[in-house]
Structure formats: C-alpha cells, structure tokens
Structure 1
Amino acid sequence: MSDPLTAAARELVTQAVAIPSLSGQESELAEYLRDWMTARGFTAHIDEAGNAVGERGQGPLTVALLGHMDTVPGDIPVRVEGNVLHGRGSVDAKGSLCAFLAAVAALPAEALAAARFVVVGATEEEAPSSRGAHHIARRLTPDVVLIGEPSGWEGLTLGYKGRLVVRALAECGNFHTAGEGHSAGDDLAEAWFRVRGWAAQAGEPGSIYGSVQATVQALHSDSDGLTQRAEGTFGLRLPPAVPPAQAEADLRTLLADLSRVSLTFVGHESAVRYPKDNALTRALRVAIRAQGGSPVFKVKTGTSDMNVVAPHWPVPTLAYGPGDSALDHTPDEQLDLTEYDRAVAVLTSALTRLALGAAPLPS
C-alpha cells in the first residue's frame, strides 16, 4: 500500500467508520466528510437535511453519486486486522460512500472539465424516512446516478425490491386470563398470521425477487390495569408486481374485521429495476474487466435510496460498492480493504471514461 492515494482512501474509510452515525445522528460524520472534501478541491457543504454534499467539475454532464452516512445500531470495535476493516457501517455503506469520495478526488483534470460530479452522503437511509434522499431528489437533476451500496467490486446492482412497513396496534379492556375473551396480544397475533399468509400468496411465490417477504420487526405489549395494548411492526419487501399502494389496500381489506386493531402504513417505496445496457453499465463493465474482474449483474431483495430517487431521476442508474452485503447489519460486519482499493480504481476509471465520452449517453 505504498501508493499515497490508496493510503489516503483507506484512512478516509477507517475514520468514517470510527465516527458513530446512527440514523438521525449523522452530524459529526457529515462535518468530517465536508471538511475532507473541502481540503481536496470539492465545493462542499451540509444541506438542510443534514446531507454532506460535495461537487467537483464544471462539465455539462452531471453525475450524482448518492451514498448514505447512517448505520443501524450495534457497537462493533473499529479496528484494522491485516487488510480487513471491522466496524459498524464498514459494508453498509460507508465503504461505498468513501469509495465514491476517493474516486472523485482522484479524477484527472480532463474528466473534471467534461462533467460535474456531485457526491452526497445522505441521512436516514436506514430509517423509513429516507430523509436525505428525499431532500436531494428534489434539488438535483443528474444525467447519471450511482447509488452507494455493497455489490462486491465486480457486481452491478440493477434493482431493489420495494418496501412497506405495517404498524399494528391492538387495544382492549383488561380481563382475567382465566376468563373468556381474546387479549390484545391474541388480536395482534391474528393480524400477523393474516399478513404472513397474504405475503406467501402475493407476487410470484417461490421467486426470490418476485415474491413478497414479510418479517416481524418489533413486538411490544403492556397494560395499565384497565387497558391492554399490543403493538407490532411488520416489514414487507415488495416485488415490482406488488406496488405499496396495492399492498396497503389488500391488507386493510384483509384485516378490516379486526375492529380492535388499528393500522398505520409507512415507508411506501416501489420496487425498481434498470436495464443492463446503458452508458453507465458499459463504463463500469470495462473498468471492472481492466482490473481483472468479471462483471456480474444483480438484483437485491432489500431496499435502498435507489427506490427513493427513481421517480425523480429517470436516468441510467445502478448501485455499486465494495463489500459483501450478507454482512449488512450483522455482528461480523467487516470490509476487505483490498476489495475497497479495487472498487476505488474501478470507479475512477469508469467515471473518467463516462466523462470523456468513451461510453456516450444515448440521445
């Protein structure tokens, strides 16, 4: 690792992972990234949503590189062992965001004369609000979009499932459990069984990308001695064939007879999938092969900020970044820094090629 650019890129991701940034608590990391960008020739600021935003270049082509700063909870001691960086957010998705920053910082002058590169470290991607992405989607009009999410350095992610979160609240008067009646917990359990049964038949059962996935995200119950309350949060991952509005309508109808259960739906994100052949995929495929890799197209069962910006930015888009997404949110989250180095090299080459017109945009 004698190359000073490689060393600087590794220092960036290590420091970023070392700064805690739970959803809604990203300000310290945003300030660090803003200052890092400013010191390297970016025009950088923190916007009204708390996003860290930096720009380089003045060309007519606008390339948006949207990553996210926030992480899920989980205290994983930050350390580098050999070429492996351990820590919460190393894979999901500070590694991808920092690869974007390092690549744009390394672009040659001719690329900066041909294109404008806008890197965004967004807030609250891990929360249903997706605050940062919603904010920037209405303030930027890019020609090309990269989403920072782990795909593996040879992977190109073309799509994500949609999302809907169901919050169910069951309430009833308190009673002795030796007597007749149904508790609030009984009603909540019935609601979940129906949701799970609906999910098993919706979409394309048996297809990983085409099916509906349903999980219980949280359960809670309490009583003040007079009233019982049981609350549940159910997460749904939706394929393109099941839009969030349809899922909500189906579930409201399905649970309508549970009079003691009230429903709230949040996180309405539609599934999205982009074509394989466009200027962006061509530039990245060439760059991956130049690094000795074999490009692989993917679709993901999770949801990302790609789902949020897709309705606003109908342009060539894909998600890219180093790391194994199977480690997202796990106690073993870790990033192979050799893979990170390769991702930075791929991005630097692909963005240069894109800017200089080696893979021209379709008219």
Structure 2
Amino acid sequence: MGAAPELKGEARELVRQAVAIPSVSGEEGPVARFLVEWMMERGFRAHVDDAGNAVGERGHGPLTVMLLGHIDTVPGDIPVRVEGDVLHGRGSVDAKGSFCAFVAAVAALPETALAGARFICVGATEEEAPSSRGARHVMRQYSPALVLIGEPSGWEGLTLGYKGRLVVRVRVGKDNFHTAGEGTSAADDLAEAWFRVREWAAGTAGEGIFGTVQATIQHLSSGTDGLMQVAEGTFGLRLPPQLTPAQAEAELLDLLADLPATLTFGGHEVAVRHPRDNALTRALRVAIREQGGRPVFKVKTGTSDMNVVAERWPVPTVAYGPGDSALDHTPNEHLDLAEYDRAVRVLASALARLAGDHPA
C-alpha cells in the first residue's frame, strides 16, 4: 500500500508545521492543539488529555494498536527550514518526525483497515524530562495488544530494546583545612568516588555495549566558604538488562561505603528488550521489503518511553521512525523528507496488514 500523492504533501506539511512550533518539555500545549486540530479535520476522534498529550483515534475493530510518540524536545533553537528534501529544526528527528509519520499513516488507512482495528495515536509530553508525564498517564488509560514507540530508527530499522538508567548524585562535605596539611580534600574524595564507579562499570562487561554499564560524568563542582569544603558530582549510568537500577544502587552504596560521601539516586529506568518475531515485527518487515528496504533489528543505549510502559504493557512492542538518531539533541538536527515519506508508507502498509490479520 502506498501513500497517495496528496497524502505525501499533507504529511510533509504536517511535520514541517509541527517542528516549527516550539515545544520544550513542559511547554507542549501549542503543538498538541495543532496536532489535535489536524487529526480532527481528517476524521480522528481527537483531544488533548489531562497530561497534555495529543490523542487521536481512528477505527473500531477488535485489535487495539497504540502508536505512542512524543512531541516535546530538548532546548535549542534551530531555525526551521526546508532545503531540498531536508527539514531542519529541533524535534525533526527526536521525535516529531516519528509521531507525524504515525499520524499520517493512520490518516491514510482505508475503511477496511478501520473495521479490523482501533488505532490510537498519542503525542506524549515530557519524554525528554525525567517525569515521562505523558507516557505514565496514558499507560493507565489503555490496554493495547500491540505498541509502536515513535523514535528514530531509520526507515529500515526496528528497535527492540533500550538500556536502563540510574542517576547517582554524590556529595562530600568536610571541614576546611590548609592544603599543606595531611588528608584529602572534598574534591579528592569525589574524584575517588568517580574512579571507583568507572572501574565498577568497566567490570560489568557483557555482550557488546548493550550488555555493559556505561558511566558518564554529568556534573562536577567543588568550593569552600572558608569553613566547609563541598564537592558535588552527578554520574549517569546506562544499565544492561541483567542489572536493575535497584541492584546497581545497592552495589554502589557498598562500593562507596568507606568514603565520607552522601549518595542519592534518581532516574530509575529498567532496561527492556522485546522479542524479534511476532505479528508486529512481521508486518513491519514485510512493509519495509515492499518499499525496497532491508529490515534491520536494533537495540539502543539510551532510554525511551518503551522503558516506561514495558511492565504495564507486556505485549509486542517496536520503536520505529524516520531519521538518524545520531542527530538527536545536536545543533545539526535534520530529517530527510524522502525517508520520512518511506516511513509513512511502511507504517500505512504494516497497519493495514495487522488490521487484515484480525478482521472484525
């Protein structure tokens, strides 16, 4: 199934306009209203929900398919422009391009597909924030049979999993002393904490980077008021499936127990990896091949709303969307619109196939 010429133009204009509306996490209202209006004009039952999500539904069949993307972005003003077949702008890749591809594909579905399934498009809020407000709200409202997560995978890529996350905040406070004296400074103790965390992470090596803890420094500072020294650091950990945030937390508390440091933890996300072979992956693989592509399975070292909803929605799940994820959050974020067109066609074909596999 291919997108009609008029849909191609509408789909491109949809993503261009969506990207042109700023929507840093917590400020998604204007773009959510725009998306709801676009969907309503094309026959969706659409509204902005209590979490600020843009929600649109089409179809009335027995199979419920959730298409969960996010419409917030990280900060950064990139002038929105189309040069040839390339759309530049914050959110073009991460991840308004993916959500607009979802919406455009569902808008293109024929009545026969709508009789076989109910398609729910959710443009979620605050995915780029620790709260994941939109996904946490919507996962309590629905019980889908299949889930698509809107994240850039490349139009031939199917992302099956994301690593987990833990954020460690370390604070060392101690009486000030002359640097000619004996002992360690608060900054010395903080540095020692980081060296131990880094060595611990390296010792967790598993199968490739997806099976290993990745540790990075997100923040370091130290200072004194003349009486007290204070050093603070924030370490970000990306966790493999075999290590939960709770397990990592316990190991780090033990590892740093002899240091005069206070540890606090946040950003807990459990790693997730879904199976390769199910109705959803099969439909997408067939659709990718129809467009001349070669399906590629992927796992990602970051996190997404897939991590958030996995426990409550233990069903076939894939992250899919156009764009190069290496451009996420960068000053050069841009989307190839020809690839976006292919992703829309892939999605429309796969969704129609799924609806046909579950006739009313």
Normalising by the smaller structure, the TM-score range is over 0.9
Any conservation in 2 of the 1:56–1:116 contact (CA below 8 Å)?
Answer: yes
Corresponding residue for 1:348?
Answer: 348
Cα distance, 1:170 vs. partner? 2.0
Corresponding residue for 1:67?
Answer: 69
Give, in whole Å, the separation in 1 of the partners of 2:299 and 2:341.
Answer: 24
The reply on whether 1:311 has 2:311 as its aligned counterpart is yes
Deviates most, 247-256 or 13-22: 13-22
Corresponding residue for 1:27?
Answer: 29
Provide the aligned length of Structure 1 versus Structure 2.
357
Corresponding residue for 2:228?
Answer: 227
Q: CA RMSD in A?
A: 1.8
The reply on whether 1:79 has 2:86 as its aligned counterpart is no
Give, in whole Å, the separation in 2 of the partners of 1:2 and 1:114.
Answer: 21
Cα distance, 1:10 vs. partner? 0.8
Amino acid at match of 2:214: Q
Give, in whole Å, the separation in 1 of the partners of 2:4 and 2:280.
Answer: 31
Give, in whole Å, the separation in 2 of the partners of 1:2 and 1:119.
Answer: 21
Cα distance, 1:227 vs. partner? 3.0
Large movers: runs of 4+ above 6 Å: none
Amino acid at match of 2:346: V
Give, in whole Å, the separation in 1 of the partners of 2:205 and 2:270.
Answer: 13
Corresponding residue for 2:100?
Answer: 98
Amino acid at match of 1:253: D
Evaluate the alpha carbon distance shift between residue 333 and residue 266 of structure 1 in structure 2; reply closer, same or farther with a 3 A threshold.
same
**Secondary structure of the corresponding residue to residue 67 of structure 1:** strand
Corresponding residue for 1:114?
Answer: 116
Deviates most, 170-179 or 2-11: 170-179
Deviates most, 75-84 or 28-37: 28-37
Corresponding residue for 1:138?
Answer: 140
Amino acid at match of 1:167: R
Give, in whole Å, the separation in 2 of the partners of 1:79 and 1:179.
Answer: 60
Corresponding residue for 1:14?
Answer: 16
Cα distance, 1:137 vs. partner? 1.3
Cα distance, 1:138 vs. partner? 1.5
User: What does the per-residue CA deviation read over 1:8-43, in whole Å, with 9 as the maximum and x for residues that have no partner?
Assistant: 111111111112222222222222212222222212
Give, in whole Å, the separation in 2 of the partners of 1:26 and 1:146.
Answer: 21
Cα distance, 1:178 vs. partner? 4.3
The reply on whether 1:335 has 2:321 as its aligned counterpart is no
Give, in whole Å, the separation in 1 of the partners of 2:205 and 2:309.
Answer: 24
Amino acid at match of 1:257: D
Cα distance, 1:274 vs. partner? 1.1
* Sequence identity (%): 74
Q: So what's the TM-score if we normalise by structure 1?
A: 0.94
Unaligned runs of 5+ in 1: none
User: What does the per-residue CA deviation read over 1:176-210, in whole Å, with 9 as the maximum and x for residues that have no partner?
Assistant: 44444433222222211111111101141x72211
**Secondary structure of the corresponding residue to residue 342 of structure 2:** helix
Any conservation in 2 of the 1:167–1:263 contact (CA below 8 Å)?
Answer: yes
Alignment of 1:1-363 (within 5 A): 3-204=5-206, 207-259=208-260, 261-357=261-357
Give, in whole Å, the separation in 2 of the partners of 1:214 and 1:82.
Answer: 40
Q: So what's the TM-score if we normalise by structure 2?
A: 0.95
Give, in whole Å, the separation in 2 of the partners of 1:255 and 1:212.
Answer: 17
Amino acid at match of 1:66: L
Give, in whole Å, the separation in 1 of the partners of 2:55 and 2:172.
Answer: 43
User: What does the per-residue CA deviation read over 1:251-278, in whole Å, with 9 as the maximum and x for residues that have no partner?
Assistant: 011111122x211111211111111111
